[in-house]
A and B are shown apart, each in its own frame.
Chain A
Amino acid sequence: MNRRGEAMSHERFRNSLSDYLEETLSAAEHRELETHLGTCPECSLLATRLRETLGRLHAFPRLEVPADFTARVLERTIRRPLRPWEIVWSWVGLPRLSPAAAAALLALPLIFLAGTRDGRQLTRETSMAVHRTYSDAVRLYHRRGDLRETAVAAGKRIPGQLEGTVDWIRQRIGTMENPKTPPAKPGEPDQQSLQSRERGATA
Protein backbone atom coordinates (compact mmCIF):
# COMPACT_ATOMS: atom_id res chain seq x y z
CA MET A 1 0.00 0.00 0.00
CA ASN A 2 1.44 3.40 -0.95
CA ARG A 3 1.57 6.34 1.52
CA ARG A 4 -1.64 7.94 0.18
CA GLY A 5 -3.55 4.69 0.45
CA GLU A 6 -2.15 4.12 3.94
CA ALA A 7 -3.28 7.59 5.08
CA MET A 8 -6.78 6.95 3.77
CA SER A 9 -6.85 3.70 5.65
CA HIS A 10 -5.84 5.43 8.91
CA GLU A 11 -8.49 8.08 8.34
CA ARG A 12 -11.16 5.45 7.76
CA PHE A 13 -10.22 3.56 10.90
CA ARG A 14 -10.04 6.70 13.00
CA ASN A 15 -13.50 7.74 11.85
CA SER A 16 -14.76 4.37 13.03
CA LEU A 17 -13.28 4.67 16.51
CA SER A 18 -16.42 6.12 18.14
CA ASP A 19 -18.54 3.33 16.67
CA TYR A 20 -15.91 0.83 17.79
CA LEU A 21 -15.99 2.10 21.37
CA GLU A 22 -19.78 2.20 21.37
CA GLU A 23 -19.77 -1.34 19.95
CA THR A 24 -21.99 -0.52 17.03
CA LEU A 25 -19.68 -1.86 14.30
CA SER A 26 -20.55 -5.04 12.51
CA ALA A 27 -18.55 -8.11 13.49
CA ALA A 28 -16.47 -7.94 10.30
CA GLU A 29 -15.71 -4.22 10.75
CA HIS A 30 -14.86 -4.80 14.39
CA ARG A 31 -12.37 -7.56 13.51
CA GLU A 32 -10.81 -5.47 10.74
CA LEU A 33 -10.32 -2.47 13.05
CA GLU A 34 -8.83 -4.57 15.84
CA THR A 35 -6.41 -6.09 13.40
CA HIS A 36 -5.37 -2.59 12.33
CA LEU A 37 -5.00 -1.39 15.91
CA GLY A 38 -2.72 -4.36 16.60
CA THR A 39 -0.35 -3.22 13.89
CA CYS A 40 -0.65 0.58 14.04
CA PRO A 41 0.72 2.24 17.22
CA GLU A 42 -0.64 5.68 16.23
CA CYS A 43 -4.24 4.52 15.80
CA SER A 44 -3.92 2.32 18.88
CA LEU A 45 -2.77 5.29 20.98
CA LEU A 46 -5.62 7.36 19.64
CA ALA A 47 -8.12 4.62 20.51
CA THR A 48 -6.72 4.42 24.03
CA ARG A 49 -6.99 8.19 24.53
CA LEU A 50 -10.48 8.23 23.14
CA ARG A 51 -11.51 5.43 25.50
CA GLU A 52 -10.04 7.33 28.46
CA THR A 53 -11.80 10.52 27.41
CA LEU A 54 -15.13 8.74 27.15
CA GLY A 55 -14.54 7.19 30.58
CA ARG A 56 -13.87 10.62 32.06
CA LEU A 57 -16.95 12.10 30.42
CA HIS A 58 -19.12 9.28 31.69
CA ALA A 59 -17.69 9.69 35.19
CA PHE A 60 -18.39 13.41 35.17
CA PRO A 61 -20.26 14.38 38.36
CA ARG A 62 -24.01 14.87 38.27
CA LEU A 63 -25.85 17.27 40.49
CA GLU A 64 -28.49 15.85 42.75
CA VAL A 65 -31.76 17.71 42.54
CA PRO A 66 -32.30 19.81 45.69
CA ALA A 67 -35.31 18.75 47.76
CA ASP A 68 -37.09 22.05 47.24
CA PHE A 69 -36.38 22.35 43.54
CA THR A 70 -39.79 21.18 42.31
CA ALA A 71 -41.55 23.42 44.83
CA ARG A 72 -39.55 26.41 43.60
CA VAL A 73 -40.39 25.63 39.99
CA LEU A 74 -44.10 25.27 40.84
CA GLU A 75 -43.93 28.54 42.73
CA ARG A 76 -42.66 30.29 39.64
CA THR A 77 -45.01 28.63 37.19
CA ILE A 78 -48.41 27.61 38.56
CA ARG A 79 -48.61 29.57 41.77
CA ARG A 80 -48.73 33.05 40.28
CA PRO A 81 -49.05 35.98 42.71
CA LEU A 82 -52.62 36.60 43.86
CA ARG A 83 -54.40 39.69 42.60
CA PRO A 84 -55.53 42.17 45.32
CA TRP A 85 -59.19 41.18 45.18
CA GLU A 86 -58.19 37.52 45.40
CA ILE A 87 -56.24 38.24 48.59
CA VAL A 88 -59.30 39.96 50.13
CA TRP A 89 -61.55 37.11 49.09
CA SER A 90 -59.17 34.50 50.47
CA TRP A 91 -59.39 36.22 53.89
CA VAL A 92 -63.16 36.72 53.78
CA GLY A 93 -63.59 33.12 52.70
CA LEU A 94 -61.83 31.71 55.73
CA PRO A 95 -64.37 29.65 57.74
CA ARG A 96 -63.50 31.26 61.07
CA LEU A 97 -64.05 34.71 59.60
CA SER A 98 -67.25 33.98 57.67
CA PRO A 99 -69.77 35.07 60.39
CA ALA A 100 -67.87 38.30 60.97
CA ALA A 101 -67.60 38.88 57.23
CA ALA A 102 -71.37 38.28 56.80
CA ALA A 103 -72.19 40.70 59.63
CA ALA A 104 -69.88 43.30 58.14
CA LEU A 105 -71.49 42.90 54.73
CA LEU A 106 -74.98 43.40 56.27
CA ALA A 107 -73.86 46.36 58.33
CA LEU A 108 -72.25 48.14 55.40
CA PRO A 109 -75.52 49.26 53.69
CA LEU A 110 -77.00 50.36 57.03
CA ILE A 111 -73.91 52.38 57.85
CA PHE A 112 -74.10 53.89 54.40
CA LEU A 113 -77.83 54.70 54.73
CA ALA A 114 -77.44 56.14 58.22
CA GLY A 115 -75.98 59.21 56.59
CA THR A 116 -79.31 60.15 54.93
CA ARG A 117 -82.75 61.06 56.36
CA ASP A 118 -84.50 58.16 54.61
CA GLY A 119 -81.68 55.96 55.71
CA ARG A 120 -82.12 56.97 59.36
CA GLN A 121 -85.84 56.25 59.10
CA LEU A 122 -85.14 52.88 57.53
CA THR A 123 -82.57 52.07 60.17
CA ARG A 124 -85.04 53.03 62.94
CA GLU A 125 -87.83 50.90 61.46
CA THR A 126 -85.47 48.00 60.95
CA SER A 127 -84.34 48.28 64.54
CA MET A 128 -87.95 48.41 65.81
CA ALA A 129 -88.96 45.43 63.71
CA VAL A 130 -86.02 43.46 65.04
CA HIS A 131 -86.91 44.33 68.64
CA ARG A 132 -90.61 43.55 68.16
CA THR A 133 -89.85 40.17 66.61
CA TYR A 134 -87.46 39.41 69.41
CA SER A 135 -89.99 40.36 72.10
CA ASP A 136 -92.73 38.24 70.47
CA ALA A 137 -90.42 35.30 70.35
CA VAL A 138 -89.59 35.72 74.06
CA ARG A 139 -93.29 35.91 75.02
CA LEU A 140 -94.09 32.88 72.95
CA TYR A 141 -91.32 30.98 74.63
CA HIS A 142 -92.58 31.80 78.14
CA ARG A 143 -96.17 30.91 77.28
CA ARG A 144 -95.48 27.69 75.45
CA GLY A 145 -97.06 25.79 78.40
CA ASP A 146 -100.34 27.72 78.02
CA LEU A 147 -100.36 26.98 74.30
CA ARG A 148 -100.09 23.27 74.91
CA GLU A 149 -102.81 23.26 77.63
CA THR A 150 -105.17 25.33 75.52
CA ALA A 151 -104.69 23.09 72.57
CA VAL A 152 -105.39 20.02 74.74
CA ALA A 153 -108.48 21.67 76.22
CA ALA A 154 -109.76 22.52 72.79
CA GLY A 155 -109.21 18.90 71.76
CA LYS A 156 -107.05 19.90 68.84
CA ARG A 157 -103.64 18.82 67.80
CA ILE A 158 -101.37 21.76 67.16
CA PRO A 159 -99.87 20.62 63.87
CA GLY A 160 -103.29 20.06 62.33
CA GLN A 161 -104.68 23.39 63.50
CA LEU A 162 -101.90 25.71 62.71
CA GLU A 163 -104.10 28.61 61.65
CA GLY A 164 -106.13 28.52 64.87
CA THR A 165 -102.99 28.28 66.89
CA VAL A 166 -101.55 31.37 65.23
CA ASP A 167 -104.78 33.24 65.98
CA TRP A 168 -104.56 32.14 69.56
CA ILE A 169 -101.00 33.39 69.82
CA ARG A 170 -102.02 36.75 68.43
CA GLN A 171 -104.87 37.01 70.94
CA ARG A 172 -102.67 36.05 73.80
CA ILE A 173 -100.11 38.66 72.87
CA GLY A 174 -102.92 41.20 72.46
CA THR A 175 -104.18 40.32 75.94
CA MET A 176 -100.77 40.88 77.41
CA GLU A 177 -100.53 44.26 75.75
CA ASN A 178 -104.16 45.10 76.86
CA PRO A 179 -104.54 43.94 80.47
CA LYS A 180 -108.25 44.95 80.62
CA THR A 181 -109.18 41.69 78.95
CA PRO A 182 -108.84 39.01 81.66
CA PRO A 183 -106.74 36.06 80.67
CA ALA A 184 -108.45 32.69 80.56
CA LYS A 185 -108.04 30.42 83.53
CA PRO A 186 -105.59 27.58 83.16
CA GLY A 187 -107.19 24.51 81.62
CA GLU A 188 -110.10 26.58 80.33
CA PRO A 189 -110.14 27.96 76.78
CA ASP A 190 -110.81 31.67 76.47
CA GLN A 191 -113.45 33.29 74.27
CA GLN A 192 -111.19 33.79 71.29
CA SER A 193 -109.99 30.25 71.45
CA LEU A 194 -113.52 29.02 71.40
CA GLN A 195 -114.30 31.19 68.40
CA SER A 196 -111.19 29.90 66.72
CA ARG A 197 -112.21 26.35 67.55
CA GLU A 198 -115.64 26.96 66.04
CA ARG A 199 -113.99 28.28 62.84
CA GLY A 200 -111.75 25.23 62.72
CA ALA A 201 -114.74 22.92 63.17
CA THR A 202 -116.66 24.71 60.44
CA ALA A 203 -113.71 24.43 58.12
Chain B
Amino acid sequence: MAPTDNELVVRCLQQDEYAWRLLVERHSHRVLNIAFQFTGKREEAEDLAQEIFLRVYRSLRRFDLTTSFLPWLVRVSRNLCIDEYRSRARERASLVGEEPDPERTPDQGPGPLRNLEKKELEMQVRKGLERLSEELRTALILRDLQGLSYTEIAEALELPEGTVKSRIHRGRMELAQILAPGSGSRDEATEEPTP
Protein backbone atom coordinates (compact mmCIF):
# COMPACT_ATOMS: atom_id res chain seq x y z
CA MET B 1 0.00 0.00 0.00
CA ALA B 2 1.33 3.44 -0.90
CA PRO B 3 2.40 5.55 2.06
CA THR B 4 0.19 8.49 2.98
CA ASP B 5 1.40 12.06 2.55
CA ASN B 6 1.84 12.44 6.29
CA GLU B 7 3.91 9.25 6.48
CA LEU B 8 6.13 10.61 3.73
CA VAL B 9 6.49 13.89 5.61
CA VAL B 10 7.65 11.99 8.70
CA ARG B 11 10.22 10.13 6.60
CA CYS B 12 11.36 13.41 5.02
CA LEU B 13 11.98 14.78 8.49
CA GLN B 14 14.24 11.76 9.05
CA GLN B 15 16.26 12.83 5.99
CA ASP B 16 14.73 10.18 3.74
CA GLU B 17 15.41 11.60 0.28
CA TYR B 18 13.34 8.97 -1.46
CA ALA B 19 10.27 10.00 0.54
CA TRP B 20 10.74 13.60 -0.56
CA ARG B 21 11.04 12.48 -4.16
CA LEU B 22 7.75 10.57 -3.84
CA LEU B 23 6.05 13.58 -2.30
CA VAL B 24 7.25 15.86 -5.10
CA GLU B 25 6.22 13.40 -7.80
CA ARG B 26 2.81 12.91 -6.20
CA HIS B 27 1.95 16.62 -6.06
CA SER B 28 3.99 18.22 -8.84
CA HIS B 29 1.08 18.19 -11.31
CA ARG B 30 -1.23 19.97 -8.90
CA VAL B 31 1.35 22.51 -7.73
CA LEU B 32 2.51 23.24 -11.27
CA ASN B 33 -1.05 23.85 -12.43
CA ILE B 34 -1.94 26.05 -9.48
CA ALA B 35 1.08 28.15 -10.41
CA PHE B 36 0.09 28.08 -14.08
CA GLN B 37 -3.49 29.11 -13.34
CA PHE B 38 -2.24 32.05 -11.33
CA THR B 39 0.55 33.19 -13.63
CA GLY B 40 -0.73 32.10 -17.03
CA LYS B 41 2.79 31.47 -18.27
CA ARG B 42 4.48 28.11 -18.46
CA GLU B 43 8.04 29.19 -17.68
CA GLU B 44 6.93 31.34 -14.78
CA ALA B 45 4.70 28.54 -13.54
CA GLU B 46 7.62 26.08 -13.55
CA ASP B 47 9.85 28.50 -11.67
CA LEU B 48 7.09 29.30 -9.22
CA ALA B 49 6.29 25.62 -8.67
CA GLN B 50 9.94 25.00 -7.83
CA GLU B 51 9.85 27.90 -5.39
CA ILE B 52 6.76 26.39 -3.81
CA PHE B 53 8.45 23.03 -3.29
CA LEU B 54 11.52 24.80 -1.91
CA ARG B 55 9.32 26.64 0.58
CA VAL B 56 7.48 23.44 1.45
CA TYR B 57 10.73 21.56 2.02
CA ARG B 58 12.07 24.26 4.33
CA SER B 59 8.78 24.46 6.22
CA LEU B 60 8.19 20.72 6.69
CA ARG B 61 9.12 20.95 10.37
CA ARG B 62 6.32 23.43 10.90
CA PHE B 63 3.68 21.18 9.32
CA ASP B 64 1.17 19.93 11.88
CA LEU B 65 1.12 16.15 11.43
CA THR B 66 -2.38 15.91 12.93
CA THR B 67 -3.78 17.75 9.88
CA SER B 68 -3.93 16.85 6.19
CA PHE B 69 -0.96 17.59 3.99
CA LEU B 70 -2.83 18.63 0.83
CA PRO B 71 -4.61 21.71 2.22
CA TRP B 72 -1.34 22.81 3.80
CA LEU B 73 0.46 22.37 0.48
CA VAL B 74 -2.29 24.30 -1.30
CA ARG B 75 -2.09 27.07 1.28
CA VAL B 76 1.67 27.43 0.78
CA SER B 77 1.18 27.35 -3.00
CA ARG B 78 -1.61 29.88 -2.92
CA ASN B 79 0.33 32.27 -0.68
CA LEU B 80 3.36 32.20 -2.96
CA CYS B 81 1.19 32.53 -6.07
CA ILE B 82 -0.60 35.55 -4.64
CA ASP B 83 2.71 37.16 -3.68
CA GLU B 84 3.91 36.56 -7.20
CA TYR B 85 0.65 37.85 -8.68
CA ARG B 86 0.85 41.04 -6.62
CA SER B 87 4.43 41.69 -7.59
CA ARG B 88 3.50 41.13 -11.21
CA ALA B 89 0.50 43.41 -10.85
CA ARG B 90 2.81 46.07 -9.54
CA GLU B 91 4.86 45.67 -12.66
CA ARG B 92 1.66 46.04 -14.65
CA ALA B 93 2.20 42.70 -16.24
CA SER B 94 -0.83 41.05 -17.70
CA LEU B 95 -2.17 37.78 -16.34
CA VAL B 96 -3.21 36.89 -19.87
CA GLY B 97 0.04 35.89 -21.40
CA GLU B 98 1.43 33.07 -23.29
CA GLU B 99 -0.75 30.32 -24.54
CA PRO B 100 -0.05 26.90 -23.10
CA ASP B 101 2.53 24.95 -25.02
CA PRO B 102 0.58 22.51 -27.23
CA GLU B 103 3.26 19.87 -26.67
CA ARG B 104 2.75 20.02 -22.93
CA THR B 105 -1.04 20.23 -22.83
CA PRO B 106 -3.53 17.47 -23.50
CA ASP B 107 -4.77 16.87 -27.02
CA GLN B 108 -6.48 19.97 -28.35
CA GLY B 109 -8.75 18.12 -30.77
CA PRO B 110 -8.62 17.94 -34.53
CA GLY B 111 -7.96 20.81 -36.84
CA PRO B 112 -6.16 24.13 -36.56
CA LEU B 113 -9.42 26.13 -36.70
CA ARG B 114 -10.79 24.30 -33.72
CA ASN B 115 -7.52 24.82 -31.88
CA LEU B 116 -7.73 28.52 -32.59
CA GLU B 117 -11.31 28.73 -31.30
CA LYS B 118 -10.38 26.78 -28.23
CA LYS B 119 -7.44 29.00 -27.48
CA GLU B 120 -9.60 32.06 -27.85
CA LEU B 121 -12.13 30.66 -25.39
CA GLU B 122 -9.32 29.81 -22.97
CA MET B 123 -7.99 33.32 -23.21
CA GLN B 124 -11.44 34.72 -22.44
CA VAL B 125 -11.68 32.55 -19.34
CA ARG B 126 -8.18 33.48 -18.26
CA LYS B 127 -8.86 37.16 -18.64
CA GLY B 128 -12.25 36.78 -16.98
CA LEU B 129 -10.54 35.18 -14.00
CA GLU B 130 -8.10 38.05 -13.89
CA ARG B 131 -10.97 40.47 -13.51
CA LEU B 132 -12.34 38.74 -10.45
CA SER B 133 -11.27 39.86 -7.02
CA GLU B 134 -8.34 37.96 -5.55
CA GLU B 135 -10.46 36.08 -3.02
CA LEU B 136 -13.05 34.96 -5.60
CA ARG B 137 -10.38 33.99 -8.12
CA THR B 138 -8.49 31.91 -5.56
CA ALA B 139 -11.63 30.08 -4.49
CA LEU B 140 -12.62 29.42 -8.09
CA ILE B 141 -9.19 28.16 -9.10
CA LEU B 142 -9.02 25.76 -6.18
CA ARG B 143 -12.53 24.43 -6.76
CA ASP B 144 -13.14 24.43 -10.50
CA LEU B 145 -9.62 24.16 -11.86
CA GLN B 146 -7.95 22.15 -9.11
CA GLY B 147 -10.99 20.11 -8.14
CA LEU B 148 -10.47 20.41 -4.38
CA SER B 149 -13.40 19.71 -2.06
CA TYR B 150 -15.03 22.52 -0.10
CA THR B 151 -13.54 21.10 3.08
CA GLU B 152 -10.03 21.07 1.63
CA ILE B 153 -10.39 24.63 0.35
CA ALA B 154 -11.75 25.80 3.71
CA GLU B 155 -8.76 24.22 5.41
CA ALA B 156 -6.30 25.66 2.91
CA LEU B 157 -7.72 29.17 3.10
CA GLU B 158 -8.44 28.91 6.83
CA LEU B 159 -12.03 30.00 6.29
CA PRO B 160 -15.42 28.56 7.30
CA GLU B 161 -16.81 26.19 4.70
CA GLY B 162 -19.91 28.37 4.27
CA THR B 163 -17.74 31.36 3.32
CA VAL B 164 -15.87 29.22 0.81
CA LYS B 165 -19.12 28.02 -0.80
CA SER B 166 -20.40 31.54 -0.97
CA ARG B 167 -17.21 32.83 -2.60
CA ILE B 168 -17.19 30.06 -5.15
CA HIS B 169 -20.80 30.70 -6.10
CA ARG B 170 -20.22 34.46 -6.35
CA GLY B 171 -17.09 33.88 -8.40
CA ARG B 172 -18.96 31.65 -10.83
CA MET B 173 -21.81 34.11 -11.17
CA GLU B 174 -19.44 37.01 -11.83
CA LEU B 175 -17.41 35.02 -14.31
CA ALA B 176 -20.60 33.90 -16.09
CA GLN B 177 -21.61 37.55 -16.31
CA ILE B 178 -18.19 38.53 -17.72
CA LEU B 179 -18.23 35.75 -20.28
CA ALA B 180 -21.87 36.24 -21.31
CA PRO B 181 -22.28 36.80 -25.07
CA GLY B 182 -22.77 40.43 -25.95
CA SER B 183 -21.67 41.70 -22.57
CA GLY B 184 -19.24 44.60 -22.66
CA SER B 185 -17.21 42.78 -20.06
CA ARG B 186 -16.74 39.81 -22.37
CA ASP B 187 -15.54 42.01 -25.23
CA GLU B 188 -13.10 43.58 -22.85
CA ALA B 189 -11.94 40.13 -21.79
CA THR B 190 -11.22 39.22 -25.39
CA GLU B 191 -9.14 42.31 -26.07
CA GLU B 192 -5.39 42.06 -26.10
CA PRO B 193 -3.77 43.61 -23.09
CA THR B 194 -2.41 47.08 -23.60
CA PRO B 195 1.33 47.38 -23.00
Contact = CB atoms under 8 A, between A and B. Distances in A.
A56 B50 contact: no
A73 B25 CA distance: 10
Contacts of A50: 172-173, 176
A41 to B, nearest CB: 15
Contacts of B45: 63
Contact of A78 (B20, B122, B175): B20
Contact of A63 (B20, B104, B121, B169): B104
B50 A53 contact: no
Interface residues of B, number: 40
A58 B100 CA distance: 16
Given A72-B50, A74-B20, A65 B28 contact: yes
20 contacts: A46-B176, A49-B177, A54-B144, A54-B172, A61-B100, A62-B106, A63-B32, A63-B42, A63-B45, A69-B49, A70-B21, A70-B28, A73-B24, A73-B28, A74-B20, A74-B21, A76-B54, A77-B20, A77-B53, A78-B57
Contact of A66 (B37, B46, B179): B46
Contacts of A54: 144, 172
A57 B165 contact: no
Contacts of B136: none
**Chain A interface secondary structure, helix, strand, loop or mixed?**
helix
Interface centre among B17, B24, B32, B45 (most CB of A within 10 A): B24
Contacts of B101: 63
Interface residues of A, number: 28
Interface of B: 17, 20-21, 24-25, 28-29, 32-33, 36-37, 42, 45-46, 49-50, 53-54, 57, 100-101, 104-106, 121-122, 125, 140, 144-145, 165, 168-169, 172-173, 175-177, 179-180
Contacts, number: 95
Given A53-B176, A60-B145, 13 more contacts: A18-B169, A18-B172, A46-B176, A49-B180, A50-B173, A52-B176, A53-B179, A60-B122, A63-B45, A63-B101, A69-B46, A74-B17, A74-B24
A121 to B, nearest CB: 51
B124 to A, nearest CB: 8
Nearest to A62: B33
B103 to A, nearest CB: 8
A61 B179 CA distance: 18
B68 to A, nearest CB: 21
Given A53-B175, A61-B105, A69 B28 contact: yes
Contacts of A58: 144
A58 B175 CA distance: 13
B105 A63 contact: yes
User: What 5 A-B pairs have minimum CB-CB distances, sorted nearest first?
Assistant: A57-B144, A53-B176, A18-B169, A49-B176, A77-B57
A6 interface: no
Contacts of A76: 50, 53-54
A68 to B, nearest CB: 10
A33 interface: no
